[in-house]
Amino acid sequence: MLNRIARILVIAAGIVALLPALAIAQTDDAPQSGYVDVNDLHMYYEIHGEATDAPPLVMLHGAYMNIDFMGEILPSLAETRQVIAVELQGHGRTNDIDRPITYEDMADDVFALIQELGLESVDVVGYSMGGDTALQIAIRHPEVVNKLIVISASYQLDGLYPDLIDSISMMMPEVFAGSPIETEYQRLSPNPEAFATLVEKLVALDGTDFDWSADVAAIEVPTLIIMGDNDAVTLQHMIDMYGLLGGGVMGDLHGLPDSQLAIIPGATHTAILLRVNLLTPIITDFLDGITYSLF
């Protein structure tokens, strides 16, 4: 079992490692970058694209990732709006601190960064772990969220496929040995020797039961849910999330809800970010308020 998981993770990491080169190829200008000190973190961020009349888009990566691993979707979205990409606790250039990694704490960290940057309102997009963090920002700090985009994330632990949940406890630092994930961590981290600690904290995070059903149902900002048709999250779970957000009605009779659901064909959890040709127009239309209805 461990060897099978190791092969899957290393292959996935190899795919993800291709993404930084693709992102760099899309822009000739280096992004503005910096740090803010929030909640004992020295948190790294980058600003891509020019400011527009639209709110900035805060982008949150997944577990074991950094900003570069978001790939082409970052410069693609930055063509039409300003994107603020953030590296979360213990990831990329942001230091780790003596506390567990939790979605609630990461949400509070991003909220503090938004305040430090002097922003009154932002759109938020998060992938996987970043998607759950984005949900918690909307739950805990709804006053700063204009629109929310959740990619490949769940609002309950059992929204994930059972075989994935069963394998979480088997994730060990040795699984990542020599992979691009470990290499990137050691290259960028302020504490390159602490990779094992990051893995331990993320295993604990991924193995902690949670149920945010009532909180998600109370979210009032327009929300776009995106998943792959063969994602880590079950299709039924994403449909249920859409229902909690007011989706699943006969639109021609009752009008379109504020929230939307997009299922990307031929996409897995680790590779969904490669489908930029589909993701960018779906996200851009949602942020711009473009819908398709005869009424």
- In tens, the pLDDT along 219-228 reads 999 999 999 9
Q: Give residue limits of the domains in the chain.
A: 2-288
Phi, psi at residue 190, to the nearest 5°? -65, -20
Backbone angle region of 255, left / alpha / beta, with phi > 0 → left and psi within -120 to 50 → alpha: left
Helix (H) or strand (E) holding 228: strand 223-230
List strand residue ranges (DSSP E) for 29-160, in order. Answer: 32-38, 41-48, 57-60, 83-86, 122-127, 145-151
What is the assigned CATH class of domain 2-288? Answer: alpha beta
Question: Please, are residues 55 and 97 in contact by the beta-carbon 8 Å criterion?
Answer: no
Measured in whole angstroms, the distance separating CA 96 from the mean position of its chain's CA atoms is 19
pLDDT at 78 > cutoff 50: yes
- In tens, the pLDDT along 246-257 reads 999 999 898 999
Question: Quick one: which of 77, 48, 66, 116 has its CA closest to 285?
Answer: 77
Q: How confident is the model at residue 284 (pLDDT cuts 50, 70, 90)?
A: very high
pTM over 0.85: yes
- In tens, the pLDDT along 100-143 reads 999 999 999 999 999 999 999 999 999 999 999 999 999 999 99
